[in-house]
Amino acid sequence: MKRSRSLAVLVGGAVACAAVGVSAPSAYSFGTLDGRLGQRAEHEHITRAALACPPGQPSDDYCFEPASLSELAGAHHKGGAIGAPDLGTEAVRQEAHCDNADYLAESGYPQSRAEASRNLLGCVDHAAQRMNNAVKEAGRLLSNGKIVGWHVSLLVRCGNNQVGGRAKCGVIEQFGRGLHAVQDFYSHSNWADDPKPGPFGVTNPPGLGHVELFPLFELFAPRPPTAEEIPEHLSTGCFDLAAAGSGERLGCSGGKRIRHRSLNKDTGMIDPSTGETSDPTTERGRVGANFARVVKLAIAETRRQWRDVVTALEQRYPGQGARMACAVTHDHPTKSCR
């Protein structure tokens, strides 16, 4: 959820910050890496807390064994599939992080509720496309009902570069990229948080305080969600190109919109085994239990998304879906997935 979002990553690291006349920002979403730019690998730790197989218990299709989990969550200062949107051309793509769905119910706010809802539905659609891509990629895992050894090999790490290759890498990358967006939603929005004391405004938007998962992230639902299903006061922070290039000193209609920095709960300590939180470092994250609350929901959402993918595999590939899920989650699937 923490993006290393410099303009330099817009086109393979080649776009200069001079495009907006200012230096690049450091990081703007749940952390992807550890010990860099103030990040504490928040995405990785959330994903591990959600999907790691419990020690001493048999593996199943709903938890990831160590090497497979590292491809998804990242390890040893490498971002994995969950961090890929922070480290490449999606770093400033709003739908990859659920940004720019900001709205404040006051006269003259620069963005309408309809525009904000359209941007949020773009994020939901982006996540749904990624999850469906993961299910599609899984079709290459088997041949004549048998797992293809090359397609599940992890002898070389996955590239997470959206280039066709091993099927297991493709499933994990697409799932991770979709998962990034839904995890970011909880950090970047006011769905589950509380505001600071004092009047509401662009620097202190209202909080909705929800403790349940966002219903629009039922990504395999038979019909797409509509704007009418989005609560009026739901908002995510503005993060446009000028904000990206200036460390949020510029952009967002000259500060007349709710900025990312006013709403995010991106950084803090997360135990990768238990999901327990401490030491939140953003202004909104330090309010009450905001950081702990959004991390708890991001963990629960991560579990829901993988269960939904497994269900989709079973529905799309009758009689083979469970073996495909096993091939993705197990480190030695040609031996352990029968």
Is residue 254 a part of any domain in this protein? yes
Is residue 1 a part of any domain in this protein? no
Which residue type, as a one-letter code, is found at position 121? L
Instruction: Rounding to the nearest 10 degrees, give the CA dihedral for residues 279, 284, 290, 295.
Output: -70
Rounded CA-CA distance 305/118 in Å is 22
Is residue 199 a part of any domain in this protein? yes
Is residue 184 a part of any domain in this protein? yes
Q: Residue 78 phi/psi, 5° resolution? A: -120, 135
Rounded CA-CA distance 120/136 in Å is 24
Burial pattern 309-322, b for ≥16 Cβ within 10 A else e, equals: bbebbbebbeebbe
The beta-strand segments (E) located in 266-328 are: 269-270, 277-278
Instruction: Name beta bridge partners: 79.
Output: none
The beta-strand segments (E) located in the chain are: 142-143, 146-147, 269-270, 277-278
Residue 188, classified by CB atoms within 10 Å of its CB into exposed (0-12), middle (13-18) or buried (19+), is buried
Quote the pLDDT of residue 201. Answer: 97
Is residue 113 a part of any domain in this protein? yes
Residue 139, classified by CB atoms within 10 Å of its CB into exposed (0-12), middle (13-18) or buried (19+), is middle
**Tens of pLDDT along the chain (338 residues)?**
554 443 333 323 322 332 333 333 334 667 565 555 556 899 999 999 999 999 888 889 999 999 999 999 999 777 899 999 998 889 989 999 999 999 999 999 999 999 999 999 999 999 999 999 999 999 999 999 999 999 999 999 999 987 779 999 999 999 999 999 999 999 999 999 999 999 999 999 999 999 999 999 999 999 999 999 999 999 999 999 999 999 999 999 999 999 999 999 999 999 999 999 999 999 999 999 999 999 999 999 999 999 999 999 999 999 999 999 999 999 999 999 98
Is residue 2 a part of any domain in this protein? no
**Measuring CA to CA, how many Å separate 224 from each of 10, 40, 214, 309?**
30, 35, 14, 17
Rounded CA-CA distance 246/253 in Å is 14
**Measuring CA to CA, how many Å separate 84 from each of 87, 118, 244, 304, 313?**
5, 24, 18, 21, 23
Q: What is the CA radius of gyration of the chain?
A: 19
Quote the pLDDT of residue 1. Answer: 56
Number of domains within the chain: 1
Quote the pLDDT of residue 164. Answer: 78
Q: Among 74, 92, 70, 75, which Cα is nearest to 83's?
A: 74
Quote the domain boundaries for residue 58: 7-336
Rounded CA-CA distance 208/190 in Å is 6
Is the CB of residue 327 less than 8 Å from the CB of residue 313? no
